Amino acid sequence: MERIQDRINEQSPWEHITEGNKIFEAATAREFCTGEWRTSTPVFEREKCKQCLLCVPVCPDSSIPVSAGKRADFDYEHCKGCGICAKVCPFGAITMREGK
């Protein structure tokens, strides 16, 4: 029985992969705008935020920038909208909105 992967490789050899699929090494996500994959968007409500920074370490995409000990708005070019940050925020400063 022919393996599916073998059939895919025959139909699409690696030489025909488009420019957008080039990944030369691990940890290069910052070089690609992966936020366009997002189906839900986190909304930061600055007035509710107490700067506890609990959201920062749980973000799998490092999309919550911190400067001088304070968090800023999201890096939407890399945020994939998983919603983990909204779940850990004890002050309701992050809500999720459908769409980009």
Domain boundaries, the chain: 23-98
Please report how many Cα atoms fall inside a 13 Å half-sphere around the Cα of residue 81, on the Cβ side. Answer: 15
For residue 55, how many other CB atoms are within 10 A of its CB?
A: 24
| Long-range residue pairs from 58-64, CB within 8 A, at least 24 positions apart, any chain | 58/84, 58/85, 58/88, 59/84, 59/85, 60/84, 61/29, 61/34, 62/30, 63/35
CATH architecture of 23-98: 2-Layer Sandwich (3.30)
Provide the pLDDT for residue 24: 60
Q: Would you give per-residue pLDDT tens digits along the chain (100 residues)? A: 455 555 445 566 666 655 665 556 665 666 777 777 888 999 999 999 999 999 999 998 889 999 999 999 999 988 999 999 999 999 999 999 998 7
